Amino acid sequence: MNTATLFGLCGAILIGLGLYGALTHPQPLRKLIAFNLLGSGIFLVFGAIARRGAWGTVGGDPVPQALVITAIVVAFAATAMAVALLERILKEGGQTTLDPDAPAGVITERRDR
Amino acid sequence: MSGPGAVDVAMTTPGGAWLVAALAWPVIAILLMIAGGGRHAARIALASMPVGVAVAGAIAIRVLPEGEALVYLVGGWAPPLGIALRADALSAVMMLTTAIVICGAGLYAYADFGPKSGKPETRVSLVFWTLLIAVWGAMNLIVTGHDLFNLYVALELLTFAAVPLVSLDGRAATLSAALRYLMFALLGSVLYLLGAVLLYGAYGTLDITLLAARVQPEPAAWVAAALMTAGLLAKTALFPLHLWLPPAHAGAPPAASAVLSALVVKGSFFLVIRLWFEVMPALWSFSATQLIAALGAAAILYGSVLALRQERLKLLIAYSTVAQIGYLFLMFPLAFDPATAQLQGGVALTGGLLQTVSHAFAKAGMFMAAGLIATALGHDRVADLAGVARALPISVFAFGLAGLSLVGLPPSGGFVAKWLLLSAAVSTGQWWWAAVLVIGGLLTGGYVMLVLIRAMSAAAAPIVPLKPVARSREGVALAMSLCAVLLGLLALGPIELPAFAVTTP
């Protein structure tokens, strides 16, 4: 197994973990972290694809690297937006869950600090 | 570079610079609005709208009569190194629709978010106008992008512009709706990105024309296609991924609801069309097209039945959107040619596109009318609408006309769309989709009539509007609904329907 395959498989595991977390966790903050894990997995797979395109003295295909940087910026912006929304929800409604019937979560209790 | 299609993309066509104009003007307008602040945002946005209409019109005039696509190579670099922008007939139609609906929303929203004399400027007005123009810019990028990664960025731009529109009023309920929408949208776009990454890994390019020539029916392409489709369906809110849509679309201010329901969900749907018809038309099997249409049929039935059961008018309209999105997916099995095992543009694709456009106008008109009714009554409970038709005749008429198109009664655009889908279903021998179309039409008629009957029944006491409703705003809602109806006349009239056969290399 060469390095690119190893990294590709690591990326696949991260994608699986992230997808599982994003689908199963009810807490938005956990969903968000899972989403970031999923994104990182995709970036890693893309990096492995870039490495596979290496030839001669060039260490890797430069196109995926350029795209990954853009994708990281987009994922960062998305995360920032979700966190901002979450913070506003905590301020307005006093809880951070999307389920109106759910008991107040851990984060809600920390509000008094 | 391989394939005959490569020649087609590798050059900037005359007039290709209009595509750059279509992407540049929203950015300039947004920068000016941020510099001008909330006091001037409305005026800058409204002043920039004619520019946007002119650019969309200029592109449509060049593309629609001949059917020749406009191409612009960014920086003069040909794909696969560079990125191409391309506008074909599909893009031009979507661009015009976007232009008309957003202009309508802008005129309608001026009373809500425009500058008020004697009052300090508000942040919400700056946010609304910048996001409105941002939605327009993102839609322009989605319809002209010709590179799958470029389209990913466009999808995210559309999401980032659309999500805050949901929670403009800042209440906890709408914030939650916005967050749920964002979660679905993020998962959707990240799945789309994963699919694009796999395609790049397998075929070494993300340019649509080059990919179309290289894609083979093999596991890598299947997985990528499934991931991208699933991601796009989550953003389009196709059943069973529709959960986010009703609270988000019903909670937004009326002008924003109109834009979200009419355009934003169509952006990701447009990419489904691009993907299925252009990038990989030969990848689909009979069963795959049946599956996606089955989801559409479930959306039609589920959405319509839930719309019938809603107590609030805006939620009713939002569930109607869930149902009407289902119609869009009926075109895939009808466009499938079993002889060549390919998706082919033709009657079914034209029907699907007409449904996209006529639903955009009808739903914009409906949300605007519902917004005015809610303003006048102070509530939007369907059960207590009695007497509204007397107080706001134009709004109720606009609602009725939009309903006409949603049901699919002649001469509306919805009628022609559903007629084309119906005849495609009959001619391909897939009677079950024809049955879905007919049942869906009946259910739609049910919830439209439910509202109209309540609105037209006599009230115990004449309704005195809580707030005066400007005639001009009623006029905008009516104009949107009229567009949906007149679209049918345009299509039935002497003008022949342009054949929206997607050009595949």
pLDDT band at B5 (very low <50, low <70, confident <90, very high): very low
CB contact under 8 A, A89 and B176: yes
Nearest to B143 by CA among B155, B134, B133: B155
Judge whether B197 lies within some domain. no
Chain A residues near residue B197 by CB distance under 8 angstroms:
42, 45-46, 49, 64
Taking CA atoms, what residue in B is nearest to A48? B201
Judge whether B438 lies within some domain. yes
Mean pLDDT value across residues B176-194: 92
Judge whether B488 lies within some domain. yes
Which of B197, B207, B227, B243 is the best substitution to test chain A (most A C-beta atoms within 10 A)?
B197
Taking CA atoms, what residue in B is nearest to A42? B194
Nearest to B152 by CA among A74, A8, A107, A110: A74
pLDDT at B223: 92
Judge whether B243 lies within some domain. no
B156 CA: distance to closest CA in chain A (Å): 7
Mean pLDDT value across residues B394-403: 92
B93 CA: distance to closest CA in chain A (Å): 29
Asked if the model's pLDDT at residue B302 lies above 70, the reply is yes
A27 CA: distance to closest CA in chain B (Å): 11
pLDDT at A64: 87
Q: Which two tokens stand for residue B188?
A: 């959707």
Asked if the model's pLDDT at residue B495 lies above 50, the reply is no
**Alpha-carbon span B342 to B339, nearest angstrom:** 8
pLDDT at A78: 93
Judge whether B186 lies within some domain. no
Query: Cα torsion at B128, B137, B332, B411 (round to 10°)?
Result: 70
**Alpha-carbon span A55 to B486, nearest angstrom:** 59
pLDDT band at B283 (very low <50, low <70, confident <90, very high): confident
Nearest to B86 by CA among B59, B57, B66: B59
Are B213 and B505 in contact by the 8 Å Cβ rule? The answer is: yes
Chain B residues at the A interface, defined by Cβ less than 8 Å, are 149, 152-153, 156, 159-160, 163-164, 167, 170-172, 175-176, 178-180, 182-183, 186-187, 190, 193-194, 197-198, 200-201, 204
Asked if the model's pLDDT at residue B256 lies above 80, the reply is yes
**CA–CA–CA angle A87, A26, A72 (5° rounding):** 60
Judge whether B462 lies within some domain. yes
Q: How far is CA A104 from CA A113, B180, B407, in A?
A: 16, 18, 44
Judge whether B474 lies within some domain. yes
Chain A residues at the B interface, defined by Cβ less than 8 Å, are 15, 22, 28, 31-32, 35, 38-39, 42, 45-46, 49, 52-53, 63-64, 67, 70-71, 74-75, 77-78, 81-82, 85-86, 88-89, 92-93, 98
Note the pLDDT tens digit of each residue in A17-68. Answer: 999 999 888 888 899 999 999 999 999 999 888 888 777 777 788 888 889 9
What's the total number of domains in chain B?
1
As a whole number, the mean pLDDT across chain A is 82
B161 CA: distance to closest CA in chain A (Å): 11
Are B267 and B158 in contact by the 8 Å Cβ rule? The answer is: yes
Judge whether B223 lies within some domain. no
**CA–CA–CA angle B408, B411, B413 (5° rounding):** 60
B25 CA: distance to closest CA in chain A (Å): 22
pLDDT at A1: 67
pLDDT at B491: 66
Q: Kindly provide the b/e burial profile for residues B92-128, where b requires at least 16 CB atoms within 10 angstroms of the residue's own CB.
A: bbbbbbbbbbbbbbbbbbbbbbbeeeeeeeeeebbbb
Are B165 and B263 in contact by the 8 Å Cβ rule? The answer is: no
B238 CA: distance to closest CA in chain A (Å): 17
**Alpha-carbon span B138 to B130, nearest angstrom:** 12
Q: Which two tokens stand for residue B7?
A: 């020649």
| Exposed / middle / buried, residue B216 (Cβ in 10 Å: 0-12, 13-18, 19+) | exposed
Taking CA atoms, what residue in A is nearest to B244? A98
Q: What's chain A's Rg over C-alpha atoms?
A: 18
Write down all domains in chain A, each with its CATH number in brackets: 3-112 (1.10.287.3510)
**Closest residue to B179, CB basis, from A15, A70, A89:** A89
Note the pLDDT tens digit of each residue in B28-39. Answer: 999 999 998 878
**Alpha-carbon span B80 to B32, nearest angstrom:** 34
Q: Which amino acid is at B43?
A: R
pTM across the whole model = 0.90
**Alpha-carbon span A38 to A48, nearest angstrom:** 15
Distance of CA B310 to the CA centre of its chain: 23
Give the phi and the psi of residue B86 in degrees, each rounded to 5.
-145, 135
Are B155 and B195 in contact by the 8 Å Cβ rule? The answer is: no
What range does the domain containing B328 cover?
A: 284-505
Residue B473 or residue B7, greater confidence: B473
pLDDT at B467: 80
pLDDT band at A111 (very low <50, low <70, confident <90, very high): very low
3-state secondary structure of A98: coil
Nearest to B3 by CA among B216, B146, B209, B278: B209
As a whole number, the mean pLDDT across chain B is 87
ipTM score:
0.88
**Alpha-carbon span B224 to B237, nearest angstrom:** 20
Give the phi and the psi of residue B71 in degrees, each rounded to 5.
-130, 140
Chain A residues near residue B156 by CB distance under 8 angstroms:
74, 77-78
